[in-house]
Structure 1
């Protein structure tokens, strides 16, 4: 079995002939991983902003084929194509009872060793599951976007966007781009993306599915007001994790506006002026994905979103074979690629 292993902070290894997972733990299924995309949280773990001691898995945005269905809960069968996302929570723990099913369990309890391996165990019980079946309409590479699409959809839902409102998304990484594209698909006319990476901005302009502003420009705030109106944007979605960007969000949101924070900050906010929260009567909303977004028939709403938007979203992906996995991480960290996917299939 092959895997991309994070052996220490800042040190990745391609490991060949790893021991195959022989026994299933109760309530798990075994997945033969086809492909796994690199998330910003994987990069944070690489840089030591998350704890290797606390996290048992590496890679959580993957697609693959069920090679052992375990108990077969939730209709999962051997040979089924699946992708990772939080698709089921128990419904009766404290978090679920209080409207927080995304906190039902940690991914530490759901994945081992994770998606950067040719095989992984995934929790799938009647009360909790971290996989969803994927239709033939989605290819294995695009299916790796299911989990980030789930997270982006949660941020959009937290924003509670109304007809006629204007939206600014800070951070045109994968999450920001997927969120912006979901918002556009809802019929929202003014959706503005903000970023400072020249390579990324050029790529997004070529794709053409969201208007963008370069935050390096001296008049970038004026550009936002030109698009959103003199009072500022109705809704800000902040997906960079950079404190100066949060400060900028306070500046360009209108009085009574809403700011959804779906990014992970690694520092304290002692450099951010908090007075606008009171002066503008702002609503600040957190967004922690993934979340079990289910339709009334119990299937995944995020799968439907991915099917609908895949022609645009697959353009964000750069594919690397397993042997080039280290380059995939380098390109993701440098910003030369928007979303990198490591392909394991032989």
Structure 2
């Protein structure tokens, strides 16, 4: 099979590798579509993300969908020919976090495209069968691949305990912010306010469900929030930009007794927060790390047709064009949101 391998930072090589064989309780999947994620770009550009360092050649890509071509021994709920989406993190199933349902916190997780584990920018992958979910006939491979980042938005909305009719603020309209807006709409949010500094992303936010948008280049976030909420503040604020300034705005925007959710990873490990505001308004502050138990719900929600998350796809590439995709994502951020790569052609 063909695979795109990151040999070292900014060096991708198209290689011929052996097609893997599925073991017990595993399936072999022909990869149809893979989204290019910000983490892939970080590994390509810098060779590391925090403590995760690329120390040997690796295949990137973890937002994937495809078709089952072979089932290993013991697989009874999946069969050849099924169209599927892939949850990329294989957890241990035994630790306290796996046992209490928060398996996203498992310290022994083997996550696609996170060193040292290979990802899906290749023609075939083997996955544990419990991480593979059939998709409806009407769902495209593109939407199925985007279930992975949509799951982050879904988990963020869940962590914020967003209720029907409530007001939610989302700071940062990159792919995860847009997915969070879509998740908020599907959860029945009454008002969805999107914040960014690019008009193109704010226009896309409206397509994803935002009822109001704020461009921080031209408007005061604090003033607009007070206007849109009649000086009450928002019920839930979700920060997806990884920006210290956005964190400050998040805390200021939340109403008394409201909730704040931090999704974005800042370049700095520490960011200042207004502790007095958190205490005085008794704000619940929660973090988000990936997701858990989201895939069945995501498939159900995205099958409703109420939101089309494919609208954020700005570019499409064949496998051999992967380096072009990475470079454009780095140098043309204004015109790119989500790129889709097709290992077996379109």
Normalising by the residue count of structure 1, what TM-score does the alignment of the two structures yield?
0.86
| Alpha-carbon distance in structure 2 between the residues aligned to 1:325 and 1:235 | 38
**Matches of 1:301 and 1:88 in 2, distance apart?**
19
Give the equivalent residue in structure 2 for 1:324. Answer: 321
Tell me the CA shift for residue 278 of structure 1. Answer: 2.1
Equivalent-residue separation in structure 1 for 2:43 and 2:89 (angstroms): 24
Q: Cα RMSD (Å) of the superposition?
A: 2.7
Q: Which residue of 1 aligns with 2:300?
A: 304
Q: Is the 8 A contact 2:192 2:209 kept in 1?
A: no
Report the counterpart of residue 59 of structure 1 in structure 2: 61
Equivalent positions of 1:39-58 (< 5 A) are 39-48=37-46, 49-50=48-49, 51-53=53-55, 58=60
Whether the 8 Å CA contact 2:242–2:266 is kept in 1: the answer is yes
Q: Which residue in 2 is equivalent to 1:343? A: 342
Residue matched to 2:244: 243
- Indicate the residue corresponding to 2:32 in structure 1: 34
The match for 2:161 is: 160
Find the aligned partners of 2:72 and 2:146 in 1 and give their Cα distance: 25
SS state of the match for residue 60, structure 2? coil
The 3 A distance-change label for structure 1 pair 155 and 74 is farther
User: 1:313 aligns to what?
Assistant: 309
| Counterpart in the other structure of 2:121 | 116
1:200-252 deviations in Å (ceiling 9; x for gaps): 224445x3731321122242321122112313211001111222211221122
Mapping of residues 28-107 of structure 1, within 5 Å: 28-48=26-46, 49-50=48-49, 51-53=53-55, 58-73=60-75, 75-85=77-87, 92-104=94-106, 105-107=108-110
Q: Which sections of structure 1, spanning at least 5 residues, go unmatched?
A: 295-299
Q: Does 1:140 align with 2:141?
A: yes
User: How many correspondences in the alignment?
Assistant: 334
Alignment of 1:204-283 (within 5 A): 204-205=205-206, 207=207, 209-210=209-210, 211-283=212-284
Distance 2:203 2:221 in 1: 16
Secondary structure (helix, strand or coil) at the match of 1:145 reads helix
SS of the residue aligned with 1:265? coil
Q: Which residue of 1 aligns with 2:19?
A: 21
In structure 2, the CA distance between the partners of 1:342 and 1:94, relative to structure 1 (3 Å rule), is same
Q: Whole-Å Cα distance in 2 between the matches of residues 282 and 242 of structure 1?
A: 19
Q: CA deviation at 1:110?
A: 9.7
1:254-286: CA deviation from partner (whole Å, max 9, x where unpaired): 222211112233412254444332232211112
Q: Is the partner of 1:221 in helix, strand or coil? A: helix
- Cα shift at 1:94: 1.0
SS in structure 2 at match of 1:144: helix
- SS of 2:139's equivalent in the other structure is coil
Query: Counterparts of 1:19 and 1:99 in 2: how far apart (Å)?
Result: 36
Change (3 A) 1:329 1:76: same
Q: Cα–Cα, structure 1 residues 337 and 204, in superposed 2: closer, same or farther, change >3 Å?
A: same
Q: CA deviation at 1:56?
A: 6.0
Q: Secondary structure at the match of 1:75?
A: coil
Aligned residue for 1:248, secondary structure, equals: helix
Q: In 2, distance between residues paired with 1:182 and 1:31? A: 28
Residue 34 and residue 90 in structure 1: after superposition, are their counterparts in 2 closer, same or farther (change >3 A)?
same
Within 2, Cα distance between the matches of 1:239 and 1:289? 12
Aligned to 2:3: 3
Offset of residue 340 of structure 1: 0.8
- C-alpha distance in 2, partners of 1:130/1:329? 27
